Structure 1
Amino acid sequence: MWQQSTDPLGSLWLSALTAALPILVFLACLVVFRLKGIIAALIALAVQIALALWGFGMPLPSVAGAGLLGVLTALWPIAYIIVMAVWLYRTAVASGRFDVIRSSISVVSPDQRIQVLLITFAFGAFLEGAAGFGVPIAICAALLVQLGFRPVKAAMISLVANAGAGAYGAIGIPVLVGAQVTGIDVIELSRAMVLLLQPLTLLIPFLLVVILDGWRGLRETWPATVTVTIVFSGIQAGVLWFLGPELVDLGSGLGAMAALFVLGRVWQPKRVYREAGAPVPAIERPSLRETIAAWSPFYILTAFILIWSLPVFKGLFAADGPLAATVLTVPIPSVTNAIVGASGTPVTAAWSLTPINATGTAILLAVFASFFTTRALTAGILWRELRGTVRDLAAALALITLILVLANIANYSGGSASMGTALTAVGPLFPLLAPIIGWIGVFLTGSVVNNNTLFAPLQVATAHGLGVDPALLVAANTAGGNTGKVISPQSIAIAAGAVGLSGRESEILRASILYSLGMLGFICVWTFVLSLLPH
């Protein structure tokens, strides 16, 4: 078996900087040289393979095995989820229901600043809590384009807004996994998240308005912005503190949407803001029945996702459950029991095919349920939209696949651990840098869940060594990863595919990167301040 090393070059910082080269190359290709996402990913992947083979000494069969796991994971469950989510959205548009959705949003306010708060922040949080995995980014970005936003701005705003909910996506799984892999009590970790992340969440609605219309826009829309912030953050903090992470995004998203609907009945900004070139919508007030029917695909989606998230449903597919035979687990050759981790433990890597209990299957059932309850849809339209979805997302899914191949090779070669270990060597200043590990983890994997699986134990071990609250550093890992989702290649590719900009990911990245780094800097400083307090 091959033994991983976090310091193959004899200098921890040199090894860590070497391990970071593929990330730096990828960013440079997109931001400096403005290459297409797939070209940038291919170059970065070539650098990663070379480093794994000759820098970290990883055997070629293990490199191939790690890459295979990346390809399989990209296909299932990630591509499956994304295709199903966008297919659901496209069928809603094809059915004509989206015209009613657009009218119901315009009734709240024709002002696009209010629409952004309603769609990307409130409704996006609701979708994040129900599905996660890029679903809110894809759907909200597409909605904004339909409402008259330019594609790049629609994608960027949806990515930034997702930072308000991304840490608790898919029924709180990132926090639940962080607690599970570290042994920290879930409520203790949830309360640490409130103390660490809530100040940033309070600021995001204000940031969204400033991005759109500057300080003038903030002065003109402060009643709506303050209302959304108080309701959203109040519900989010309360649920986290007393109940845990499972219902955080669903409750705060629903509450913020309801608050904006009520506020829209008694207050509107004096000046209606519209993006340059965006048509002013004709205000048509759909009936309550029409509105409920139009939004029904998303209600149906939420219902299926909630059922799929219930412990009793998950128990059906557990190792001793009645449907355990439907879960196919495939060990990855040349990785499982072929690599010894830096800690001395043999590595286990497997790919699971879960055709029934996959999140994508829940979305697929929502598509069919919406189809059978919508007279305007025919089987021909349904399959046409599926073909169009696959065609339009092909480039984005190819980019996601390349990035996951790169990430898996980085992880199993020891490169990711090398970067994390180097950052732990700074001693008492480590809390200042702890969120950066989470940021790197999500940039590599595109998932706050995977990030916590990889690096949360490292954060706990360092916390014990420094005498810092372990829950704080795991929360920092989660929060830092949450800011990394804004520019993770997977998120960028999803956003690009949703707004029709596949191949132009660099434009979205350039528009988003400063916001990601700014939020990361805020979390770093605030983590360090909290680490100085007694616990």
Structure 2
Amino acid sequence: MFQQILDPIAGSLLLSALCAALPLVLLFVLLGVFRVKAAKAAIASLVLSFVLAVAGWQMPLDQALSATAAGIFYGLFPILWILVNALWIYKLTVATHWFDALGRTIRSISNDLRILSILIAFCFGALLESLAGFGAPVAISAAMLMAAGMKPLKSAVVSLLANTAPVAFGAMAAPIIALNGVTGLSLHDLSSMAGRQTPFIALIVPLLLVFIVDGRRGLKQTWPVALVAGAAFAAAQFITSNFLAVELTDVVAAVVTVAAVLLMLKAWQPKESVRVEGSVQDVSIPAMAGRKSAVGNGTQVSTTAGARQGSVPDRSGVPTDNSRPAPREVWLAVAPYLIIIAVFSIAQIPFIKTWLGQVGTVTFAWPGLHIEDSEGKAVAATKFKLDHLKSTGTLLLLSGLLTMALYKIPVGKSLRVYWETLKQLRWTIVTVTTVLALSFVMNLSGQTTTLGFALASAGGFFALLSPLIGWIGVALTGSDTSSNSLFGQMQATAAGQTGLSPVLMAAANSSAGVMGKMLSLQNLAVAAAAVGLEGAEGTLFRKLIGWSLGLLALITVLIFLQSTPLLGWMVP
């Protein structure tokens, strides 16, 4: 039996925490400063963490190897199982003419990429997050933005940034339910508290999306619809999480927001319609205000009326056919996504969900791991719950099979597309499995716990550091659910020791943690693979780190004020 040690380096918690942070620092520096490929950066960080686990935290070599294998397995299933099947569905549509029909359907609603970034990345992405999560919303929404004419790099950036506000209640509120499970705090109180934090981020995100797409001009011309989208999502998220069902929070918020945006577009349209052209490098820089600078930066500007006139010859290769397909074509074009929603919704029906849990779940102890925490309690992460039937990836596979049948795609062609998907994701598979191995080694050796407790020892300043712990957890694991499972109990315990509300600090781990999701290496790899830019994870990281830290700072201020009498009335 291996018992974790909180302060193994010279008996100092501070020094131990600094050493525990080294693999994360190395990962971020290699990605953001030296522009090392994601797979190589992850491998280097894993090696450093492994050495620290064995030499510093005194983890037995065989258990360190077993922890590495456990992380690789978790990276393959469920995370890559989800990604491969989600991307396969998208590539099935590309292999037919239905992807082009989807693009025309999207552009017939609006050919303004600023509006589409809200409808697709923010609204539809939130709906996918509520049902699937684990990278599927980023992969699918990025593909849809590309279908609408947005360039690959910008599609990935927009989709990653949009995948923030919905995450705390994603996958049918799995993060909040996990938080309830590890802390024992009231599910309603945790849901209500998170629902009084994340809406403030939801209010801002649509404004950031239109700024990324079109700079200051985008804000000036489309702020009304961005504000309506943010306000509708925030209000629906607050009401549902506080007064209805926590599991339906993102579903309700996404549907309400789509309805609000479409109703507004019937009564109001921006004066100009913006489509992005040029090379990836050109469109990676937001256009400045004004027609002249926008055109010079490779962004085509047209009047709204002119943009609705349908197909116009365009030598740039950007889609210009904005004519709405026939109703039957529209339904068939969106059918794969309707199938996904239907399959996941059916899987959430209580008796079906119960049946799938009974016949489709295997729980087992990972071989070779015998670990206790510093207090002598068994570490839950040594046990695996394998949901082979009700897994998100399996449900996506079923959705893909139904799509095959609907589109009458031959089995041989579908298998070739699946093989092409695996080849496209080969480096993503290396990256994701390596970074999950890093996560498991850090967690099971005690490095992550050391880091968390060092931050929790700050006393009254813990309210400022608590969000950072959640951010680190999601940036490392790529999952708000995993971060809550990892740090939730520690947050609640530390809050009680410092006189703060355990509900507030536990919810802060989830609400602030989602700001780190856009920087998690597996999510960056998912986005890069989905838009066909394998190896661009470092570029995406550099473009997103400022937004991630900025949003983290905003929600940290909110959480700190909620810990004081000024906004303490917001705590259940």
Q: TM-score range by the shorter chain?
A: over 0.9
Select the residue among 351, 361, 365 that pairs with 1:331: 365
Contact 1:108–1:265 (CA under 8 A) maintained in structure 2:
no
Contact 2:361–2:386 (CA under 8 A) maintained in structure 1:
yes
Residue 428 of structure 1 aligns with which residue?
460
Distance 1:130 1:327 in 2: 19
Residue 405 of structure 1 aligns with which residue?
437
Aligned CA RMSD, in angstroms, stands at 1.6
1:454 to partner: Cα distance: 0.8
Residue 347 of structure 2 aligns with which residue?
308
Select the residue among 436, 440, 444 that pairs with 2:476: 444
Contact 1:110–1:280 (CA under 8 A) maintained in structure 2:
no
Distance 1:355 1:483 in 2: 29
Contact 1:165–1:249 (CA under 8 A) maintained in structure 2:
yes
Distance 1:501 1:236 in 2: 34
1:137 to partner: Cα distance: 0.5
Contact 2:148–2:319 (CA under 8 A) maintained in structure 1:
no
Q: Which runs of 5 or more residues in structure 1 are unaligned?
A: none
Distance 1:130 1:356 in 2: 15
Select the residue among 401, 411, 424 that pairs with 1:368: 401
Contact 1:74–1:404 (CA under 8 A) maintained in structure 2:
yes
SS at structure 2 position matched to 1:163: coil
Cα distance change on mapping 1:104 and 1:197 into 2, 3 Å: same
- 1:291 maps to a residue whose letter is V
SS at structure 2 position matched to 1:486: helix
Cα distance change on mapping 1:231 and 1:452 into 2, 3 Å: same
1:223 to partner: Cα distance: 2.6
Contact 2:135–2:523 (CA under 8 A) maintained in structure 1:
yes
**For residues 334-392 of structure 1, what are the alpha-carbon distances to aligned partners after superposition, in whole Å with 9 as ceiling and x for unaligned?**
31xx22211211335133443322221111111111111124x2223312211111111
Residue 351 of structure 1 aligns with which residue?
384
Distance 1:458 1:269 in 2: 48
Distance 2:335 2:347 in 1: 18
Moved more, 344-353 or 399-408: 344-353
Cα distance change on mapping 1:114 and 1:293 into 2, 3 Å: same
Contact 2:199–2:235 (CA under 8 A) maintained in structure 1:
no
Residue 512 of structure 2 aligns with which residue?
480
1:399 to partner: Cα distance: 0.3
Moved more, 92-101 or 164-173: 92-101
Residue 196 of structure 2 aligns with which residue?
195
- The alignment covers a number of residue pairs equal to 527
Residue 180 of structure 2 aligns with which residue?
179
1:158 to partner: Cα distance: 0.7
Contact 2:32–2:538 (CA under 8 A) maintained in structure 1:
yes
Contact 1:187–1:243 (CA under 8 A) maintained in structure 2:
no
Please give the residue correspondences for 1:127-526 in structure 2 after superposition, counting only pairs within 5 Å: 127-277=128-278, 279=318, 281-318=320-357, 321=358, 323=359, 326-335=360-369, 338-348=370-380, 349-375=382-408, 377-526=409-558
1:208 to partner: Cα distance: 0.9
Contact 1:483–1:520 (CA under 8 A) maintained in structure 2:
yes
- 1:104 maps to a residue whose letter is T
1:484 to partner: Cα distance: 0.7
**For residues 431-460 of structure 1, what are the alpha-carbon distances to aligned partners after superposition, in whole Å with 9 as ceiling and x for unaligned?**
111011111111221110011011110111
1:314 to partner: Cα distance: 3.2
Distance 1:459 1:347 in 2: 17
Percent identical among aligned pairs is 38
- 1:295 maps to a residue whose letter is V
Distance 1:235 1:201 in 2: 10
Moved more, 22-31 or 226-235: 226-235
- 2:387 maps to a residue whose letter is T
Contact 2:32–2:541 (CA under 8 A) maintained in structure 1:
yes
Query: Given the alignment of the two structures, is residue 8 of structure 1 paired with residue 46 of structure 2, yes or no?
Result: no
Contact 2:528–2:537 (CA under 8 A) maintained in structure 1:
yes
Please give the residue correspondences for 1:49-88 in structure 2 after superposition, counting only pairs within 5 Å: 49-88=50-89
Residue 106 of structure 1 aligns with which residue?
107
**For residues 25-84 of structure 1, what are the alpha-carbon distances to aligned partners after superposition, in whole Å with 9 as ceiling and x for unaligned?**
011111111110111111111111111011111110110111111111111111111111
Contact 2:106–2:148 (CA under 8 A) maintained in structure 1:
no
Distance 1:355 1:226 in 2: 41
Contact 1:72–1:351 (CA under 8 A) maintained in structure 2:
no
Contact 1:187–1:244 (CA under 8 A) maintained in structure 2:
no
Distance 1:73 1:310 in 2: 26
Contact 1:464–1:470 (CA under 8 A) maintained in structure 2:
yes
Contact 1:459–1:470 (CA under 8 A) maintained in structure 2:
yes
Distance 1:310 1:435 in 2: 34
TM (norm. structure 1) is: 0.95
1:519 to partner: Cα distance: 0.9
**For residues 124-158 of structure 1, what are the alpha-carbon distances to aligned partners after superposition, in whole Å with 9 as ceiling and x for unaligned?**
00110111111000111122223332322211111
1:317 to partner: Cα distance: 4.8
1:119 to partner: Cα distance: 0.7
SS at structure 2 position matched to 1:373: helix
Distance 1:14 1:189 in 2: 33
- 1:245 maps to a residue whose letter is V
Contact 1:190–1:244 (CA under 8 A) maintained in structure 2:
no
Moved more, 240-249 or 284-293: 284-293
Contact 2:130–2:170 (CA under 8 A) maintained in structure 1:
yes
Contact 2:203–2:227 (CA under 8 A) maintained in structure 1:
no
Contact 1:437–1:477 (CA under 8 A) maintained in structure 2:
yes
- 2:324 maps to a residue whose letter is R
SS at structure 2 position matched to 1:246: helix
Contact 2:102–2:147 (CA under 8 A) maintained in structure 1:
no
1:280 to partner: Cα distance: 5.6
Distance 2:498 2:344 in 1: 41
SS at structure 1 position matched to 2:377: coil
Moved more, 185-194 or 30-39: 185-194
TM (norm. structure 2) is: 0.89
Moved more, 465-474 or 489-498: 465-474
- 2:195 maps to a residue whose letter is V
Moved more, 21-30 or 86-95: 86-95
